[in-house]
Amino acid sequence: MEKQTIMKIYRHASEASAILERGRFDDEEKRAAVRAIVRDVRDRGDAALFEYCEKFDGSRLTHENVAVTRAEIDAAYAALDKELLASMRKAAKNVLDYHSRAPMKEDIRTDGGRTTGYTVRAVERAGIYVPGGTAPLFSSVLMGVLPAKAAGVEHICVCTPAKEGKVDPAVIAAADMCGAEKIFKAGGAQAIAALAYGTESIPKADVIAGPGNIFVTLAKKEVYGEVGIDMLAGPSEILIIADGKQDPEYVAADILSQAEHDRLARAILLTDSPALAERVAAAVERRLADLPRKDIAQYSVGHAGGIILVEDLEEACDLANVIAPEHLELATDECDRLLPRIRSAGAVFMGSYTPEPVGDYFAGPNHTLPTGGTARFFEVLNQDIFLRKMSVIRYTKEALEEDGTDIVRLAEKEQLHAHANAVRARLGGK
């Protein structure tokens, strides 16, 4: 009898609906709670913000201590290992260099007296949210602050939960290292509301970016329109397409690299090799035994993850486009051939020696990615999130005389006669 492993193997995608279906942001109870928090912070400012921070994080905040001080920043640097700081600085350089590589550019052209195009401006203020959760996610500081810096945003502040008034030194050092103007000890839906509407202590942002839990995501959804947002991010996920030539230990390690994030994290392997499927399932179970976050990862792979057998790698790519994963690993020597088939993914990791953590920490591309299938319409967090195109139009007298009759005709057809008259007045009419 075949041994049942923690990570299930599905003989066909049709059997795997339980792991392919994702939850939506439709928890009415949580939505109502978030809406109440957002409105309260909007109406009462700091007073509401501080009450919720004490209620949820045990932080007694005031106008005087909500922002991290220079002394706290210096203490954070002193508390960190020098080699860790050196690695953080290398990663920060890679991320900034990458996001500075190809920013949105102005494009204004003149032809026959008609100047059209767009100019590009950075937003004035960006609010970067950094989750607290169960680990100090200082890499999320780099991935949020540095694209805004590359875009030319003048004022960048960071909001992150403080447990009993304390923020992890690595998060503080990363924010300062990346050039954040202010670091605020506020998290959750209340921090998103503060960034959206502004309070006595926290300035209103133009764009809010960065991942968070369901309450943060629902709050971003609630305030969208008052401010811009990057995306609505849910639990982390990885999809791996692997052929039978892959080392099962590599694949298993990559599966667990995402499963340890959260009990709701999703790790799925698509392979055309039944033998690899069996070896990976066994390797996952073996590797789990020594993992410090074993309980989280085991629940994730057992309830939200799985291995799906496909006929060939082309079918795997087609299924990947339906899933639209946050992270997609093409663990095959044929990755260059397969890449053109991929339409929807947050980030694609190519080949056997590009595990997902390379992108999480160091390579330069952003690790804040669309989840839950939203890679079909959201994009990776990048400098363009903090930039706006403004249209530029200029006509000479001669150009308007040449085009004016057509403009008047179109305006009058829509019964917008004042529009037509604005042109007609310049054509010698009344």
Question: Which residues are annotated as catalytic?
Answer: 326-327
Amino acid identity, position 145: V
Helix, strand or coil, per DSSP, at residue 235: coil
> How would you classify the pairing of strands 125-129 and 237-242?
unpaired
- Distance, in Å, from the CA atom of 77 to the CA atom of 260, rounded to the nearest integer, reads 27
What residue type is 29 in one-letter code?
E
Residue type, 307: I
How many CA atoms does the CB half-sphere of 31 hold within 13 Å? 7
Alpha carbons 425 and 296: distance in angstroms, whole number:
71
248: left (phi over 0), alpha (psi -120 to 50) or beta: alpha
Cα–Cα nearest to 140, from 410, 361, 403: 361
Which one-letter amino acid corresponds to residue 405? T
Tallying the residues shown for the chain, one arrives at 430
Which residues does residue 110 pair with via DSSP β-bridges, in sequence order?
115
Residue 88 near residue 120 (C-beta atoms within 8 A): no
Please choose, from the candidates 202, 278, 160, 182, the residue with its C-alpha nearest in 3D space to the C-alpha of residue 42.
202
User: Could you give the CA distance from residue 332 to residue 317 in angstroms, rounded to a whole number?
Assistant: 12
Q: In Å, what is the CA distance from 280 to each residue of 157, 240, 252, 271, 284?
A: 43, 12, 5, 10, 6
Phi, psi values for residue 238, rounded to 5°: -140, 140
Q: Which of 231, 227, 217, 220 is nearest to 388 (CA)?
A: 227
Tell me the one-letter amino acid at 192: I
Instruction: Answer whether 145's CB lies under 8 Å from 179's CB.
Output: yes
Place of tokens 């053109």: 340
- Cβ atoms of 140 and 368 within 8 Å: the answer is yes
- The alpha carbon of 46 is separated from its chain's Cα centroid by a whole number of angstroms, namely 27
**CA 115 to CA 102: how far, in whole Å?**
25
